[in-house]
């Protein structure tokens, strides 16, 4: 009986420090998972901001009739709208406005979402295409 108690006590002592080693091994993995989750959320949000800016920019061009003045106004509106909606979470804004034909406008907005580590997040972009608005008086 004494021998069995001695062996049981010996087994308990061999587990000393196991939780410290597990903590040292699993903490970096847990931190990496948290880091990747946050970066994914920030990239998703940046993509949503790019989509909203592209829709608003296309709206300005479409309502303005696709004129050079409406394109200039749309570029200014894109910068202002990005600052209002995205704040500091969307950087390096690039707006490309093209007209594939006389009746259509295409706006592509791209940039960088907020990054935890510089250069880690991919560029985000969104493209919106729609018809140019035209006034047609009643017949």
Question: Tell me: the pLDDT tens digits for 20-57?
Answer: 777 788 899 999 999 999 999 999 999 999 999 999 99
Instruction: Please check whether the domain covering 2-131 is classified as CATH 3.30.1300.
Output: yes
pTM of the complete model: 0.78
Domains in the chain: boundaries: 2-131
Contact in structure between 113 and 121 (CB atoms under 8 Å): yes
- 86, with CB counted inside 10 A (0-12, 13-18, 19+), is buried
Alpha helix positions (H), 16-115: 18-63, 68-85
Instruction: Please determine, for residue 6, whether its predicted confidence score (pLDDT) is greater than 80.
Output: no
pLDDT for 17: 61
């Amino acid at each position: 009986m004494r021998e069995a108690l001695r062996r049981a006590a010996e087994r308990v002592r061999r587990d000393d420090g196991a939780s410290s080693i597990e903590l040292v091994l699993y903490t970096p993995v847990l931190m990496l998972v948290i880091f990747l989750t946050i970066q994914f959320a920030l990239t998703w949000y940046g993509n949503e901001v790019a989509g909203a800016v592209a829709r608003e920019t296309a709206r300005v061009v479409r309502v303005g009739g696709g004129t050079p003045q409406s394109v200039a106004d749309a570029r200014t509106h894109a910068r202002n709208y990005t600052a209002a909606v995205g704040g500091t979470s969307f950087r390096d804004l690039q707006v490309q406005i093209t007209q594939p034909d006389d009746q259509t406008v295409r706006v592509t907005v791209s940039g960088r979402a907020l990054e935890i580590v510089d250069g880690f997040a991919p560029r985000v972009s969104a493209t919106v295409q729609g018809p140019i608005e035209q006034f047609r008086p009643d017949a």
